[in-house]
Copies of this chain bind each other. A is one copy, B any other.
Amino acid sequence: MTNAATESATPPTQWVLTLSCPDRPGIVHAVAGAIATRGGNITESQQFGDPETGLFFMRVQVEADLPQSELEASLSPVAEQFGMTWLVDRVGRPMRTLVLGSTTEHCVGDLLFRQQSQRLPVDIVGVVSNHTVLQPLAEFYGAGFHHVPVTKATKADAEARLLELVDEMDVELVVLARYMQILSDDVCTALAGRVINIHHSFLPSFKGARPYAQAHDRGVKLIGATAHYATASLDEGPIIEQDVERVDHSDDVTALIAMGQDVERRVLARAVRWHAEHRVLLDGHRTVVFR
């Protein structure tokens, strides 16, 4: 790939390996062995055994001067032996991401900004919206814009178009950045574990319409946001991240919404970063987050 002279100057590639499997003795030893055999050096690693589900989770960063296929070949027998769900990826490789928005720009704009300025490890290959408001913003940041209107009558077509876009552009991650449309169970299933949603959260929680108005009416002192994987039951997928902001009696509904937007974009950006860095592993309907 490179000649010897330059090779000596190039730092070895960083790889990330994540895995989960039923917990039993010898996993770490076997994985570390498969890595050591190929001259790899483990630079960062986190493990967690869940006593309740009996599952074991591991995320490893490896410095190794070899192609991905060789690393995978070395790990494959171990994975088989322990019944692992696993993946290998290059550290820092931008994840191909499709952002779905509606009319509010705070989450979409924030992801575009962070991709460009803060090395958020995603490659936003497109912005999809059922409105056109976000088009200039998407284009300003060089992301293709796809207008996919949704009405009751066209919802099935719109979702088909969405899956087509995911397919055409090799999308790995779909982010619902205040998309305001509920994905059908079929789409959720088709994209399971690859769709991140953000929504407001309160203590206590409020069901139904106009949640900020309900929160204001109830006189809450904190408003929050939750980022989670989308599942068939929209707001009940595995939680990735949560945070809150302090409010008081003088904050009206408009102020609550503005503060809510702040916490939403902060929480969503963290969830997307951790997902793109393969720090989030599914443990049933919970997540293990190796921050």
Contact = CB atoms under 8 A, between A and B. Distances in A.
Contacts of A46: 45-47
B239 A221 contact: yes
A159 interface: no
A1 B12 CA distance: 47
Contact of A238 (B25, B202, B219, B240): B219
A224 interface: yes
A44 to B, nearest CB: 6
A48 B219 CA distance: 14
Interface stretch (A26-34, A68-76, A148-156, A189-197): A26-34
Give the oligomeric copy count.
Answer: 4
Contacts of A44: 47-49, 250
Nearest to A286: B219
Interface stretch (A2-10, A105-113, A122-130, A179-187): A105-113
B117 A113 contact: no
Interface string A57-92: 000000000000000000000000000000000000
Contact of A113 (B109, B242, B250): B109
A33 B137 CA distance: 51
Contacts of A242: 203, 220-222
A117 B105 contact: yes
Nearest to A244: B244
Nearest to A258: B118
Given A32-B29, A119-B258, A285-B219, A24 B47 contact: no
Interface stretch (A35-43, A93-101, A161-169): A35-43
Given A28-B32, A41-B23, A249 B218 contact: no
